[in-house]
Structure 1
Amino acid sequence: METRELRYFVAVAEELHFGRAAQRLGMAQPPLSRAITQLERRLGIALLERTSRKVTLTQAGAVLLAEARAILSAVAAAERRTLRAAAAHPSLVLAVKSGTAGELLRKLLDAYAEEPDAATVDLLLCEAHQHQRLLQDGHADVALLHLPFDSAAGLDTETLCTEGQVVILPVWHPLAGRSRVRMADVTALPQLPMARWPRPDGSYPDGPGAEVRNLTQLFQLIALGRTTAVIPESAGADLHRDLTAVPILDAPPVTTVIAWPPGSRLRTVADLVRVATRL
Structure 2
Amino acid sequence: MEARGRISRTVGVMGLVCLPMFVALGRATQEPPAGRMTSTTLRTTHAEVRSTHLAPLDGEWLRTLVDAEGRTVGVVAVPLGSREPRPVVVAAHGALSRPDWMCGATRDSVGPWPFIVCPHPAASVTTMASWSDGRTMRSVIDRALAAARTLFGARLLGEESVYLGHSQGAMSAAFALGTPGDAAAPFPFGLFFEGVPHDAPGAARLLQGAGMRRVLLVSGQAGWGSAHQAFARSLRARAVEARHVHAGGGHFFSPSSVVTIRSMLWWLVRDAPHWHVER
With the length of structure 1 as denominator, give the TM-score of the two structures.
0.25
Q: Which has the larger helix fraction?
A: 1
Please say which structure displays the higher CA radius of gyration.
Answer: 1
With the length of structure 2 as denominator, give the TM-score of the two structures.
0.25
